[in-house]
């Protein structure tokens, strides 16, 4: 008998929430095995009522694999805890990105994407824990790429099969080619400007547009609308039309889930399966501070354009 219980997170998705898990339960190999199985089966797991500590965050993360450092250095980690990354929005601060999205200013807004799509190696997942929850909005958005594929019209499934997408790294989201939103940059924070200055040093990456989950054989629409530049081997105009159709399908999908943060939450997602983003918040309404661990791995389907494969940095703790 396992010490926790599982409930659906939403009526229409495969995501789950787990209640009753405590730090001491993680010493049980049967608990660890079942948690790993649930992660792969469901893609998105919300742990409720968890102890708010770095130690619990790290110990829970170890259940799902080794840690990985983000290859883009932003100075947003504590040197004594390199495996934990701070994800922050500060009104007017150095992390204070603001975009006007469809006429509304939003601080800390990010469109749906999967991590490291602009590299050849894609990390396996991440765990987020809230440290400072804003008074309004500030949610994290998710969409299951399996659900995105399953809901595609048959014609789009046929057209997408066997194709690869070329991704180009950039920081200014207002230049995003494939969007359902009207986006204007209002302010970019210093750390993001520093990264932007190095944009040209990153080669383009190439990833399959459709692929099957290894454990189940279920297909995914493996598209990150953010960073997608063109379809390899297709005429540019034809490829842009297809990318636009697929991006609109994703960004307007009825099963996009917005996680509203509450104290005691830890959210785990499978980066090979889930898209995620940030809802944003009114720019002057308050601060948002999450802490994140990143799980190492590589689904081994990506490559860099005209460059040797990259080596990402792992942290063994």
Mean pLDDT of 72-76: 54
Given a cut of 50, is residue 316 above it in pLDDT? no
> Which tops the pLDDT comparison, 189 or 73?
189
Confidence category of residue 314, pLDDT binned at 50, 70, 90: very low
Given a cut of 90, is residue 209 above it in pLDDT? yes
Mean pLDDT of 9-20: 97
Q: What are phi and psi of 277, to 5 degrees?
A: -160, -170
Q: What is the pLDDT of residue 207?
A: 98
- At CA 288, angle to CA 185 and CA 98, rounded to 5? 5
Q: What is the pLDDT of residue 307?
A: 64
Q: What is the pLDDT of residue 8?
A: 98
Q: What are the structural domain ranges in the chain?
A: 5-315
Confidence category of residue 310, pLDDT binned at 50, 70, 90: low
Mean pLDDT of 265-288: 97
Question: Does domain 5-315 sit in CATH 3.60.130.10?
Answer: yes
Its pTM stands at 0.94
Mean pLDDT of 102-125: 96
Given a cut of 50, is residue 70 above it in pLDDT? yes
Q: Give the residue among 251, 293, 300 at the shortest CA–CA distance from 272.
A: 300
């Amino acid at each position: 008998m396992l010490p926790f219980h599982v409930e659906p997170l939403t009526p229409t998705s495969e995501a789950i929430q787990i209640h009753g898990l405590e730090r001491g339960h993680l010493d049980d190999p049967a608990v660890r095995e079942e948690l790993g199985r649930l992660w792969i089966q469901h893609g998105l797991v919300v742990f409720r009522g968890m102890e708010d500590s770095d130690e619990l965050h790290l110990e829970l993360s170890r259940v799902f694999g080794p840690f990985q450092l983000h290859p883009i250095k932003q100075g947003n980690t504590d040197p004594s805890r390199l495996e934990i990354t701070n994800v922050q929005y500060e009104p007017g601060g150095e992390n204070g990105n603001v975009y006007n999205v469809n006429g509304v200013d939003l601080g800390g807004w990010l469109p749906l994407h999967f991590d490291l799509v602009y590299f050849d190696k894609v990390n396996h997942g991440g765990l987020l824990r809230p440290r400072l929850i804003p008074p309004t909005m500030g949610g994290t958005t998710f969409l299951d790429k399996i659900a995105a594929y399953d809901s595609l019209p048959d014609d789009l499934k046929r057209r997408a099969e066997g194709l690869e997408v070329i991704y180009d790294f950039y920081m200014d989201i207002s230049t995003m080619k494939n969007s359902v939103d009207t986006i204007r940059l209002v302010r970019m924070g210093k750390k993001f400007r520093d990264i932007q200055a190095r944009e040209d040093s990153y080669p383009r990456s190439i990833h399959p547009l459709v692929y099957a989950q290894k454990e189940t054989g279920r297909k995914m629409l493996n598209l990150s609308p953010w960073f997608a530049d063109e379809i390899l081997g297709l005429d540019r105009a034809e490829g842009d039309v297809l990318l636009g159709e697929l991006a609109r399908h994703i960004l307007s999908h009825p099963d996009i889930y917005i996680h509203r943060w509450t104290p005691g939450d830890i959210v785990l997602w499978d980066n090979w399966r889930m898209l995620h983003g940030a809802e944003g918040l009114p720019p002057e309404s308050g601060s948002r501070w999450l802490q994140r661990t990143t799980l190492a791995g590589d689904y081994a389907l990506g490559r860099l354009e005209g460059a040797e494969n990259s080596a990402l940095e792992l942290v063994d703790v």
